[in-house]
């Protein structure tokens, strides 16, 4: 059974999702709004939620999947509490993205696109995060930039995220 971060079971999540669907039914861009809110609620977009959304908004499940797979912000698999985005833009790549990624993989035991078994971290590769002067850089949870990274700093940085 699906459980959200606050401990709600699938029944409670379904009730809350139905309220969201009701709120956006018939509105332009309603599907994206509902998917965004559903992901905030559940943490990712499981199949049961996509089925409810399709039914509730009167669109095909195929259309829902098309939108979910088109936008990188949506995830069909559970994500960790903290998202580590590794910059693979040109400046970072030249200055060591490969080493940063290799170290993250060794420390966390996961590859890009995966989540640690304890649901603590998800690692993803992104394009330039706008901190080229700090290359190589990562950004955690979309707000904490860690730049001029040396591989040996990575375990200590990760310690800051429970
Ligand atoms: S290339 Fe990495 S921050 Fe710009």
Whose structure tokens read 């905030």? 40
Q: Is 41 helix (H, G, I), strand (E, B) or coil?
A: helix
- List, in sequence order, every residue forming a beta bridge with 31; answer none if it has no partner: none
Residue 134 Cα: closest atom of ligand 1: 3
- Give per-residue pLDDT as tens, 71-103: 978 989 888 999 999 999 999 999 999 999 999
Q: Is the peptide bond before 61 cis (omega within 30 degrees of 0)?
A: no
Q: Is 135 in the pocket of ligand 1 (CB under 6 A)?
A: yes
| Mean pLDDT, range 128-149, rounded to an integer | 96
- Give per-residue pLDDT as tens, 114-132: 999 998 999 999 999 999 9
Identify the pLDDT of residue 8. 63
Q: Is 88 in the pocket of ligand 1 (CB under 6 A)?
A: no
Band (10; pLDDT cuts 50, 70, 90): confident
Q: pTM of the predicted model, to two decimals?
A: 0.70
109: left (phi over 0), alpha (psi -120 to 50) or beta: left
- List, in sequence order, every residue forming a beta bridge with 82; answer none if it has no partner: 121
């Amino acid at each position: 059974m699906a459980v959200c971060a606050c401990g709600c079971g699938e029944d409670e999540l379904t009730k809350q999702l139905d309220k969201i669907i009701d709120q956006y039914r018939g509105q332009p861009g309603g599907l994206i709004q509902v998917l965004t809110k559903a992901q905030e609620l559940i943490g990712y977009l499981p199949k049961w939620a996509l089925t409810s959304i399709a039914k509730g908004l009167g669109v095909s499940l195929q259309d829902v999947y098309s939108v979910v797979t088109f936008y990188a912000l949506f995830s069909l698999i559970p994500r960790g509490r903290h998202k580590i985005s590794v910059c693979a833009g040109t400046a970072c790549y030249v200055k060591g993205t490969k080493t940063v990624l290799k170290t993250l993989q060794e420390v966390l035991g996961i590859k890009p696109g995966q989540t640690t078994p304890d649901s603590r971290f998800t690692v993803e590769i992104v394009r330039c995060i706008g901190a080229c002067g700090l290359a190589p850089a990562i950004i955690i949870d979309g707000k904490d930039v860690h730049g001029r990274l040396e591989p040996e700093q990575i375990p200590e940085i990760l310690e800051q995220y429970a």
